[in-house]
Every structure is written in C-alpha cells, then in structure tokens.
Amino acid sequence: MADLSHYRNIGIFAHVDAGKTTTTERILKLTGKIHKTGEVHDGESTTDFMEQEAERGITIQSAAVSCFWKDHRFNVIDTPGHVDFTVEVYRSLKVLDGGIGVFCGSGGVEPQSETNWRYANESEVARVIFVNKLDRMGADFYRVVGQVKKVLGATPLVMTLPIGIEDEFSGVVDVLTKKAYIWDDTGLPENYKIEDVPADMVDKVDEYYEALVETAVEQDDDLMMSYMDGEEPSIEDIKRCIRKGTRDLAFFPTYCGSAFKNKGMQLVLDAVVDYLPSPTEVIPQPLTDEEGNETGEVATVSTDEPFRALAFKIMDDRFGALTFVRIYSGKINKGDTILNSATGKTERVGRMVEMQADERNELTSAQAGDIIAIVGMKNVQTGHTLCDVKNPCTLEAMVFPEPVISIAVAPKDKGGSEKMGIAIGKMVAEDPSFRVETDEDSGETILKGMGELHLDIKVDILKRTYGVDLIVGKPQVAYRETITQQVEDSYTHKKQSGGSGQFGKIDYRIKPGEANSGFTFNSVVVGGNVPKEFFPAIEKGFKGMMNEGVLAGYPVLDVEVELYDGGFHAVDSSAIAFEIAAKGAFRQSMPKAGPQLIEPVMKVDVYTPEDHVGDVIGDLNRRRGMIKDQEAGVTGVRIKADVPLSEMFGYIGQLRTMTSGRGQFSMEFSHYAPCPNNVADKVIEEAKARNAK
C-alpha cells in the first residue's frame, strides 16, 4: 500500500487571469507528466479542454491531474476563477487537503481571490501563496503581500524575494537558506544556478529572515524561549514550525515567480511537499445523520477503516458518465459493490480511472487519500456519500448556493424538445448550481443559474455539444393574488330542464387567511340545512377556482372559506350541484373581497467591500428593498435585505459595476408581499393584453 504521508491533494485557485492554469501546466512539465507545455492564450492547455474554455481563455470546470515530485504524489485540481463558476471552486476545496492561492503580481488580491479565500477558510484548507507574473509591467511583490494582510486579513509568511522586477526579473532568493536561484533566458525551468544573495539585497533578506524565524518559532514554546535567549534554531526546526503553522492556518508561506517564464516554480513544489498536509494530517470529515446533523463520529483517513468516499463532481463525456470521488478511508477494488447512503441503493464499480484532465489511466484498485473517477455510476449525484455496504455512513454534505438568475428557453424546432430534455438532464447532474423547472402557468422551460455568463455557457453547450438550438426569452415573475376583506354572501345554483334538476344553496364567508396558509375550508353548519356528504364537493368547488384569480389570472393564496348555512332539495341536490354552486360563489364574491396582487420577495444577501456599502444600500432601496441587517467581516460587509424579485433582474451586472467586480450576492425566496398599486396596475394590464391574444 502507498504511504499516505507522501500524498498531497491540492487545488490551485485564484481570480480570473492570475495564471492558475499556466501554473498547473508548469507543475505538470516539471514533474515530467507532459513534455510540451500548452499555453492558455493558444487554447492548448492540458486542463482547459472544453471548446468553450479554449475559446474564451478561461477555466469553466475544475480538472484533475496526478503527478509526482520528490517521491510525493500530487493530485492537482485546476479550478475556475470566474464568479459564475464558484461552485466548482467550492466543491473542489471541499475534498482537498491543501491549496496554492495564485495572485497576479500586478493585479494583486482581486475580487474572486477574496471569494475563493473565504471558501478555503470555511473549508479550513491549508494554503501556500504564489505571487505570479512578476515579469509583467506594474508587478510589485511587496504590494501584493500588503494586500494579502489588508484585504484577506491573512498573515503571509514571506519565503522568497524577487531578484529584479518586470523585464529585469531573473530569479528569487530563498529567505530560509539565504541562497539566490537565478534562471537564464532560455525559458527552461531546469536552467538555473544557485548563487549567493546579490549584494544589494543582503539587508532585505536578513530583515525577512528574522521576521520569518520569529513568526515560525511561535508554534513551539520551547524553541521560542531558546530563540529569545539568543540560540539560533536549525533549518529543520524552523521547517517543522512552518509546517505546523501552515496546517493550523496561523500563516501562509508566500512565494514569488513567473509561471509563464518558468521561474520560481521548483520552490513552490518543494513548499507543497514541506508544508502542506498529507491526507492523514487534516481534520477528518465529520459524519452526519440523514438530516445532516453531525453524529460526533469522523471519517478517519486510514486504509484500515471501512470504505468511505464523497462524490464531488459528475462529468459526462464521450465515454459515459464519470463520477469524481475523493476516498477518505478504506480501499476500493474493481468489481466491488458499494452503497450510496443518500439513495440507499448499491452500485457495482465497473471501471475506475485516474484522470489526466480529459485522458484517463485504468485502475484496478484505489485507497484512502486518492482522487479517482468511477465510470458508469447510475444514481450518484454531487455530494452523495459512497460507503461500505456493511458500514453505512453519511459524510458532511455540500451546500450549494441557490441560482440567482433565470431565463425561459424553447427549442427552435418541434423535434428538439426530447433532445433538449435529455441534454438538460445530463447538465443538471453535472452542475449542482444549474437548475431547471417547468413553469406551470406558461409551460415554458426555465433555466436557472449563477449569472449571465453561467447561463450563456449552458446555452452554448446545449447548442454545440448536444445540437439543440434554443429560443431564449425573458423570465417571468411568479405573481399571486389574495384578498384583503371579509365578505359574507349567499349563492344558489338552480337548474330545471325536465327530469331531475340541480339544486344547491350555500351561505358562506370568504376572508383573508393566515400568511402562507394557501386555502382552508371549514363548516359551522348546524342542523341538516346542508348535509355533511356535500361538504367535500363544496370544498372541491372553491379549491378548484383558486388556480385563477380575478385580477390578472394568477393563482390565489391565503384565503379561508367558512360555510355557515344553506339549503338543499331532497331530490335535486347532488355533489355536482353543490360543487357548481361553490364555483359560482367564488366568481361572485372574490371581486367584492378587496382582491390584491402579491409578489415574491427574496431574501437577498449581498457581500461588498466596505468602500461601496453606501452605494449598495442606496441601490437596494431604489429596488424597493428593506434592509434587515449589516455585519462587517474581515474582507468586507454583508448586507441582508428583502427585495421583490421583479426588481432583481440584471442585478448582478449592476452590483459588479458598483463594486468594481468585487461584490457578490445570493438570494432565495422568502415570502409573498402586496404589490404597490403602480406595479400591480402594470402587471394586470400586461396580463389582460396577454389573455386578449
């Protein structure tokens, strides 16, 4: 069995364009996995293999690759940087033990870096920092280090210093060993010399060395005491302390270089080996019950424990469905039967593969610490736990953000409906932040996602990958109707046309019901004026009319009907007669009960840097929002508000403009509230125009 202490499950994450994918390419080149590096700007990188990724030069889905460095196995995941695909970053961080946060030397700590950093903090993932692109115009390593402290509220532990900057950038100084690594101009990563520190940098290196040692020895009280007594700690002791501090998130070893020019990468790989934790050193995943509450047990990472794994990504490709799995404990062999604890069903493991982006190597077995893909799983979804049949358990599930934008789509030709249904089904399984539903009122297919780019990519995938051309429409708001006054009324249904007739008389009250009660019916009839057997028919008649209100034809909510008297005929009364009477009563009384249009109000959670709080609150107020709460965090302010859904379309674009791309928001349905008259009049007018067609 492989030694788990030699495993490193790491992710590379950063803002769009900070150089994550290029960094991944260089890691693969250095570790001998690939012999020709592909460039993102040429659309040829190993991990960006989707057509849409190559074209747009961005990463859309996380890709997994495995490689070796100094007898250590790295499972590397390259994640997207764009805010619309944060779910990919979130689910990758969920299964990783460590990460490399890449920051652009000129761009610094950018908005998406903040989001990813927050996700990594929540997932308690140890990280090293790599300040990339120091060969670019405007690059400034020291400014970026300052931003990490100020914007992220983190403690960078500077491990290397740049020699030269922009065009002059030639190498780095390792602060710990006080050695300079200088590369020549061939661009080959192996062409470097180790020299003494340049004379003009000696003082600076000494200053950073002192700061490094002081920060590191805080992790060991005995070492700190002897250091304060003037005893210099050994490099091994300092490394041990850095490893502990990195694992406990006390600080983050910070490196610099240029991935594109192949400068400084070896030291980052050494840092992954030296300072990032192996699977056994990470706090084990908690086990939960079916409701998601922690049981107090944990999934200890060990090959001797029962098999436990988390499915963190589903991908459909030309070979069939792939389920990406992080194994937390135990072993798995080809042909094993495993249990999906979320569905209670068992599945047989047919083929297992180790992924190299979109290529794969067949495996016969895998063990704790591995990240693999299983081919052909039937009912597994993202976040499901796979475990040993005899030892069922549930790992802490993933919680995905709710979609914030929706569009209505329809296939251009009639034959495309079935094709579209199958394709969308596959896409929903792959991406938990992408949802689909059918609007009951209009019969339209509504696609919901995390932002305009997200849905744009989905429509593009439907067109290119699945050959479905779509007509994309504007989304509709799901308005509802209710009443504001109590009405006491009477209605008689009488029909006589030879033979047995129909007769049903009801005396009733219609009144506003409790919020979110929908429809309630009760009877207080005393005596036999309306026989009990007709009550269900009367209720059915009223309830059947609730689907279409009198104002604009929207469904009616929160109405209570009370039957208090009536009359019947021994021969002519029947269930159908009383049902028809109830329908007539609804039509007669609803217009008198103060009908009112109500709109869905969303619980909106906006995250913004402090400088833009005033703009964001002002904008929410203009959108008829009610500010509920504000809380300041290390990297910004969270504003909670209730805002009508109709005012939230296009909000993400506006928010990004106001906050220079740093703002983010999520929203979910909260409740229905009365529409202001001017909004209601407009909606009713539009509905009448639609119905007139």
CATH number of the domain at 641, please: 3.30.70.240
Residue 257 sits in the same domain as residue 308: no
Is 64 in the same domain as 207?
A: yes
| 136 C-beta neighbours (distance < 10 Å), count | 18
Choose from 64-73, 294-303, 345-354, 572-581 the range with maximum mean pLDDT: 572-581
**End-to-end Cα separation, the chain, in angstroms:** 71
**Running DSSP on this structure, what letter comes out for residue 137?**
T
Mean per-residue pLDDT for 183-211?
Answer: 87
pLDDT at 498 exceeding the cut of 90: no
Q: In the prediction, which pLDDT does 49 show?
A: 36
Based on the domain organization, do 603 and 589 belong to the same domain? Answer: no
200-229 b/e with 16+ CB inside 10 Å = b? ebeeebeebbeebbebbbbbbeebbeebee
User: Is 400 a member of any domain?
Assistant: no
- What DSSP string describes 523-581? E---TTSS-GGGHHHHHHHHHHGGGS-SSSSPPB-SEEEEEEEEE--TTT--HHHHHHH
Averaged pLDDT, 36-62: 41
Burial category of 509 from C-beta neighbours within 10 Å (exposed 0-12, middle 13-18, buried 19 and up): middle
Is 693 a member of any domain?
A: no
At 60, the pLDDT band (50, 70, 90 cuts) reads: very low
Say yes or no to pLDDT of 530 above 70.
yes
Question: Where residue 153 sits, what CATH number does that domain have?
Answer: 3.40.50.300
Domain hosting 421: range is: 405-473
**Which of the given ranges, 458-467, 487-496, 525-534, 653-662, has the highest pLDDT on average?**
487-496
| Paired strand residues for 182 | 171, 193
Query: What pLDDT is recorded for position 559?
Result: 92
Judge if 442 and 523 occupy the same domain. Answer: no
206 and 273 belong to one structural domain? yes
* pLDDT score of 157: 93
Co-location of 539 and 622 in the same domain: no
* Cα distance between residue 520 and residue 558, in whole Å: 8
Q: What does the pLDDT read at residue 47? A: 40
How confident is residue 624, by pLDDT bands cut at 50, 70 and 90? very high
Tell whether 152 and 273 lie within a shared domain: yes
Q: In terms of pLDDT, which residue wins out, 6 or 44?
A: 6
- Out of 33-37, 304-308, 459-463, 632-636, the most confident range is 304-308
CATH number of the structural domain spanning residue 455: 3.30.70.870
Q: Do 306 and 327 contact (CB within 8 A), yes or no? A: no
Q: Of 256, 281, 306, which residue is a domain's last? A: 281
Q: Are residues 467 and 504 in the same domain?
A: no
Task: With a cut of 70, say whether residue 260 has pLDDT above it.
Answer: yes
Residue 303 lies in a domain: yes
Full-model pTM: 0.64
When comparing pLDDT for 632 and 238, which is higher?
238
Domain-embedded: residue 390: yes
Assign residue 328 the CATH number of its domain: 2.40.30.10
Nearest to 104 by CA among 14, 12, 11, 172: 14
Radius of gyration of the chain (CA): 32
Sign of the Cα pseudo-torsion (412, 416, 417, 422, in order): negative
Q: What is the pLDDT of residues 591-619, one digit of tens each?
A: 999 999 998 888 888 888 888 999 999 99
* Tokens matching residue 483: 């009443």
Contact 76, 12 (CB under 8 A): yes
**What pLDDT was estimated at residue 150?**
86
CA angle, 317 then 318 then 323, to 5°: 35
Give a yes or no: residue 93 inside a domain.
yes
Confidence band of 692 (pLDDT split at 50, 70, 90): low
CB 559 within 8 A of CB 550: no
**Which residue is listed with tokens 């890691």?**
27
What are 101-150's pLDDT values in tens digits?
888 887 777 656 777 788 788 778 899 999 988 888 878 899 889 988 98
Q: Do both 24 and 154 map to the same domain?
A: yes
pLDDT score recorded for residue 479: 84
In the three-class reduction of DSSP (H, G, I as helix; E, B as strand; rest coil), residue 182 is classed as: strand
Residues 379 and 428 in one domain: no
Q: Same structural domain for residues 180 and 305?
A: no
* The one-letter amino acid at 387: C
Range with the largest mean pLDDT of 101-105, 185-189, 251-255: 251-255
**Least confident piece of the model among 247-256, 568-577, 580-589:** 568-577
pLDDT average, residue stretch 237-248: 92
- What is the rounded average pLDDT for all residues in the chain? 80
Final residue of a structural domain among 574, 593, 612: 593
Beta-carbon contacts of residue 647 (< 8 Å; ≥ 6 apart): 623, 624, 625
CA neighbor of 356 nearest in space, from 90, 78, 26, 101: 78
CA distances from 661 to 607, 610, 656 (A): 11, 14, 4
Task: Report the pLDDT value the prediction gives residue 110, as an integer from 0 to 100.
Answer: 67
| 675 in the same domain as 569 | no
Query: Is 106 a domain residue?
Result: yes
Residue 222 inside a domain? The answer is yes
Domain final residue, candidates 473, 493, 518: 473
Q: Token pair 């016969």 is at which residue?
A: 364
Q: How many domains does the chain have?
A: 5
Express each pLDDT in 399-420 by its tens digit.
Answer: 666 565 678 888 887 777 788 8
pLDDT at residue 614, rounded to an integer: 92
Res 485: pLDDT: 92
Q: Domain for residue 421, yes or no?
A: yes
pLDDT at 319: 61
Q: At what angle do helices 575-589 and 535-544 cross, to 10 degrees?
A: 40
Q: How far apart are CA 293 and CA 340, in angstroms?
A: 18
